Structure 1
Amino acid sequence: MPEKQGEGKTYITLQYLSRLALWVYFRKIKIICRKPVPAEGPLLIAANHSNMVLDPIVLIATFPHSRPCHFWALARFFRIPLVGKILKAAGVLPVDTKTHSNAKLFESTIQSLDRGAVVALFPEGTSYTAPNHLPFKDGISWASFEYLTQLASREDGPKSISIIPVGITYSTKNRWRSEAVVEYGEPIIQTIHDLEAFHDDPKAVVKSLTDRIAKGVERSTINSPDWDTTNAAREARFVLFGDSRGVRLEEYVHVSQSFVGLLHPEQKNGLYVKERIELKEELLLFSQKLKSLRLNACDISMYENQEITQTKATLRLVSTWIGLLIQIPFFLPGIIINLPFYILGRLIDSYEPYTESVAQDKLIFSFFLALPFYSTLICLLWKLTGYGLFSLVCVCMLLPIFAWYHMALIDKNYDMLKQVIASWRIFIAVTTGNIGVDRDWTHSREALEDCVRLRRWCRDHTKLLIYNLAKAGDPQAKYLVDYGKPLFKSLEEQEE
């Protein structure tokens, strides 16, 4: 059986590279399917697009049943000799936006769907960094109705098309070794019977379908009205559950969105309005103070119920250093060998102005650096072992094993390094007393103690507000109470 265009060896190679990229970049990825995704048959996929090239890489690597995904690209790119061949081999579909004919515009899309392919689109049209998704464009809706129109003209074959909304959520999209959640939502099924309404009022029906798709993606992503609400909700989640690893990834989106809902500025006519506003202001103040100290809420959590003393700060610094020093002999060779990649990542963090491009740049530049770097390393090791055939085989086998060993240790040691840095900053703040490192006292002991007090206040008032709202019937608060039941046990006992 001949292979389908764009679903052969080139795409399989692309899948392997995508999975390798995600394995290196992310600490963990959670894939959720709300409904079983068909293993065959035509599908349209609508995903949010907040992280440039990483978003299609995520779909290529995680799509159920390893089905190939065909993406759109402007037709003019296919006219570039080498680029056009690569795009075709990778299954990318040309879209001529200059034509006024839908049949011509979606010609390659219809042909792919006729072959039972998966066509994956990003209806926002561009990547972005914003607290909520951009307005969805109507291209995917027009494509679905164009396909249904062609199905209706045929006597045999399928009479419907499924559109699956996909939410891609990153815990910190520009940070290496972060987490990601990919949720394949409930399909929106369009049949040829929907064409009657479409023919009566095409624009209105298309807009309605686009809205349904957008809402489907919203259910699988975190959306906030503004950055203040986003930042306040993140700090509220931090003080209750810790960082992203303190929340089960399958619940990460729901938990985060529930905090956004509780602190949403449109809760003016709801319950506990004054308490919500006050809590939000204090959470934002807490976030600013943490930034000035270059710490996060987890770094100071151990001091929440105890006094900050120089002895405790010193002991924490010494213990974290000892823990790191014990691990360094096992980890240092990997750090030394891969040092150019770590330096490259730091440079990209410093000089890339667009948050949504950082992860893309790290992956692309690392890939092009890896080819000459590891080729040179193999040649050097082969030379040292005498240029024998057996030694070459051993070197080629040793490097992947060493890479796996390095990645197996990296998360634990990366966390330990961050703890050492945090304990050093706390130690400096405590030992400088009220004089402070900076003239504005932002790194002083007073600033640290004020931050700890503020964290304690935010934790207690966040718990109390959620508990009271849950008793009043607020669904988001009830979900958070059920999810974090042990945290609210003391409040339940007090009430009893």
Structure 2
Amino acid sequence: MLDPSILSSAFPYGRILHYWVKASLFINPVATYILTSAGNIPVDRKSKDRNKLFKGTFKALSQNQAIALFPEGTSYTEPRIMQVKDGAAWAALEYTRWVTENGNKGDPVVIVPAAISYTNKSKYRSNVIMELVDLFCTPDLAPNVNNVKRNLLTYYSLLQSTQLTNSVLSSLPLPESLDPLRPIPLPSRLLTLSILVRDSLSSIVRLPLFILPLAIHAPAYVVGRLGAKLVEDEEETQAQNKAVFGIFVLAIAVYPMVFFFLWSCLRYTSTGALVAIGFLTLLAKYHNRLINDNYEHAKRVVATWRVLVGVWAPKQWDLSVNALSQYTVPKLPPANQWIDRSRSKSRTGSGTSSPVLPPLNPAISEPAAPARKTKKDRRPPSRRLIRHVLRARIEAAKSLASLLQQLDRTPDKRVSASAHLARAFGGQVDPVRAQGILTEDGVEVPDEPTGWRSAGEVLGFLRSRGAKIGGLKTRVQGEWAAVSSEGEGEDSTAGSGEDVVWVSPERS
């Protein structure tokens, strides 16, 4: 339910989008009124009559209205598009034939692809990505591209295990005077700690200004979190339950209770009803205006103290390399039953001479059988992972900076991109299509034209949108916090160009 909400709210020119809905949902008069008022179109997928099947679609298109379809047929968490069904193409083709046969003067059908990607779809107040750059799809992009991917993947996996985010870690005040291995005078160290305490208190001081809207909206947050726990293995449904349960509680319980309470205090007068409605409207706007800032400050304060506890804790508390390996690989989402993986499988008789591509994600493959439900994995305390997280952050930042530096020195380097992105940004599109290319799992790569963009143009694109592409000369803020043994905190940027391997990259 989140995808239609995002698409409808972000669609240009404020046009109303019409969605396909199963015709069986329109049996109830109340449901029919609600669904029809929202612009939904009933579709009887069992009907053999195309005119009956697309009746509502033809009517909407003939009136120059917009229809939104989700061609993948389901929501899933995968590194690529798993399937595309032919509903949109079929509807457009049938409408074109209907216009021709009936002599209607309808405008030609225009199919506009739209992509929705979430930074952290199951987390509150996360963002939606609207523009993408296919930077890591070029096999020979740079000599260290595989190392960059591995470091970024390790860092991402450890962030998942500690429930931290890169944006929060990047904003933490971690001056070197807090480094327990440096001989910092006690007054200086206490001064830095006092500043940290002051910043924490300043975040708490603003809480009274937010306590009223927070208390009123607290039931929605609690119920939304409980709804997410019902489907802990389904990230898409988690996000949906949080939104639906929270809105339901606000609309059915919280706001009506506040309204009637205020109205009763004003003796149930008509003026009192207007005052209560106005108060609720202002309360909702006040909550939405303050929630982002307070939420970010709360996350920053919690993360800061978690990092300090982890850094100042005895080194014996850190997880060993062997115990850490299970947290350096992202948790795999369960297989989606609505994805037809067999449609993209190659035929049995495929020749062995077909070229083979490496899998998009070696850890993701089709499961042989559904896994049994086991007891929820217990995460280790964050204090045992903090040094590993910070070290992974440093290695990821350095390797990524090295990659971007190499691209900056070779602006004419061709970077693989989607064909539509290559056309949009002045790149080139290779008309030769790959034939019979298979991944290691035997999945046939779709026959698509290959697009190319120059490295200089891609970096310019990133810089124009706020990316800070710096060099390796600048040390990562808080780098000292990644120290796990004596001497490791010394300038690690110097020395050989070999990558520091602190976790075995081999998977068991």
TM-score, with structure 2 as normaliser = 0.63
Counterparts of 1:40-51 in structure 2, within 5 Å, are none
Q: Structure 2: which 5+ runs fail to align?
A: 181-188, 325-379, 416-454, 475-508
Aligned residue for 1:71, secondary structure, equals: strand
Task: Map residues 269-308 of structure 1 onto 2, 5 A cutoff.
Answer: 270-273=140-143, 275-301=144-170, 306=176, 308=178
- Residue 282 of structure 1 aligns with an amino acid whose one-letter code is N
Q: Deviations over 1:413-468 (max 9, x none)?
A: 10010011101211221332214288979668785444434322322221121221
As a proportion of its length, which structure holds more helix?
1
1:104 Cα deviation from its structure 2 partner? 3.2
Aligned residue in 2 for 1:484: 463
Question: Would the alpha carbon gap of residues 366 and 166 (structure 1) be closer, same or farther in structure 2, given more than 3 Å must change?
Answer: same
Hey, what's the Cα distance between the residues in 1 that align with 2:223 and 2:13? 35
Residue 403 of structure 2, aligned match among 446, 465, 477: 465
Q: 1:369 aligns with which of 240, 249, 259?
A: 249
The structure-2 alpha-carbon separation of the partners of 1:411 and 1:69, relative to structure 1 and needing over 3 Å to count, comes to: same
- Aligned-pair CA distance for 1:316: 6.3
Q: Distance in 2 between matches of 1:284 and 1:176?
A: 23
**2:445 equivalent in structure 1:** none
Query: Contact 2:151–2:392 (CA<8 Å) still a contact in 1?
Result: yes
On the 8 A contact 1:74/1:94 being kept in 2, the answer is yes
**Corresponding position: 1:309 with 2:179:** yes
Q: 1:341 to 1:320 in 2, by over 3 A?
A: farther
- 8 Å CA contact 2:17–2:39 kept in 1: the answer is yes
Amino acid of the structure 2 residue aligned with 1:357: T
The change in CA–CA distance for 1:82 and 1:380 in structure 2 (over 3 A counts) is closer
2:69 paired with 1:110: no
Shift in Å at residue 304 of structure 1? 8.0
Does residue 1:394 correspond to 2:275, yes or no? yes
- Equivalent of 2:42, from 65, 81, 94? 94
Q: Distance in 2 between matches of 1:447 and 1:318?
A: 23
Contact 1:303 1:452 in 2 (8 A): no
SS in structure 1 opposite 2:246? helix
Alignment of 1:95-244 (within 5 A): 95-155=43-103, 157-158=105-106, 160-181=108-129
Indicate the SS of the match to 1:98. Answer: coil
For the structure 1 residues 298 and 107, does the alpha-carbon distance in structure 2 shift closer, same or farther, using more than 3 Å as the test?
Answer: closer
Shift of 1:299: 4.1
Partner of 1:286, secondary structure, is helix
Deviations 1:74-124 (A, max 9, x none): 222223443334333333222222233433322221122223322221111
Q: Structure 1 stretches of 5 or more lacking a match?
A: 1-52, 183-252
How far apart, CA to CA, are the structure 2 residues paired with 1:403 and 1:90?
23
> Contact 2:318–2:385 (CA<8 Å) still a contact in 1?
no
Residue 331 (structure 2) pairs with residue 383 (structure 1): no
**Count of residues in correspondence between the two structures:** 362
Supply the AA of the counterpart residue of 2:400.
T
* SS of the residue 1:119 aligns to: strand
Aligned AA (1:93):
I
Alignment-derived partner of residue 228 in structure 2: 349
- Tell me how far apart the structure 2 counterparts of residues 125 and 445 of structure 1 sit (CA, whole Å): 42
Provide the C-alpha distance between the structure 2 equivalents of 1:320 and 1:491, rounded to a whole number of angstroms.
30
CA shift in 2, pair 1:70/1:432, >3 Å? same
| Structure 1 match to 2:446 | none
* CA offset digits 1:382-420 (Å, max 9, x no partner): 333444443332222122112211221111110010011
CA contact (8 A) 1:148 1:159 kept: no
Distance 1:448 1:68, change over 3 A: closer
Q: 1:155 to 1:434 in 2, by over 3 A?
A: closer
Give the partner amino acid of 1:484: R
| Contact 1:304-1:456 within 8 A present in 2 as well | no
Q: 1:358 aligns with which of 233, 238, 259?
A: 238
Contact 2:23 2:44 in 1 (8 A): yes
- Deviation at residue 322 of structure 1 after TM alignment: 0.9
Aligned to 1:421: 302
**Equivalent residue number for residue 6 of structure 2:** 58
Alignment CA distance shift 1:475-1:303 (3 Å): farther
Code of the residue aligned with 1:283 in structure 2: it is: L
Structure 1 residue 317: Cα displacement: 4.6
Whole-Å separation in 1 of the counterparts to 2:41 and 2:293: 42
CA contact (8 A) 2:407 2:413 kept: yes
Identity, in percent, stands at: 28
**Bigger mean CA deviation after superposition, 119-128 or 316-325:** 316-325
Does the Cα contact within 8 Å between 2:224 and 2:242 map onto a contact in 1?
yes
1:321, distance to aligned residue in structure 2 (A): 1.9
Please tell me whether the aligned partners of residues 19 and 40 of structure 2 are also in contact (alpha carbons under 8 angstroms).
yes
Distance 2:308 2:197 in 1: 10
Cα distance change of structure 1 residues 299 and 93 upon mapping to structure 2, 3 Å threshold? closer
Distance in 2, Cα, partners of 1:337 & 1:156? 54
Question: TM-score if structure 1 supplies the norm length?
Answer: 0.65
Q: Which amino acid aligns with 1:474?
A: K
Query: Do 2:147 and 2:399's aligned partners in 1 also have CA atoms closer than 8 Å?
Result: no
Runs (4+) off by over 6 Å: 437-442
Could you say what secondary structure the match of 2:112 adopts? strand
Map of 1:16 onto structure 2: none
Q: For residue 475 of structure 1, report the CA deviation from its aligned partner.
A: 4.6
RMSD between aligned residues: 3.2
Encode CA deviations 1:114-149: one digit per residue, 9 max, x unaligned: 233222211112222222233111111111111111
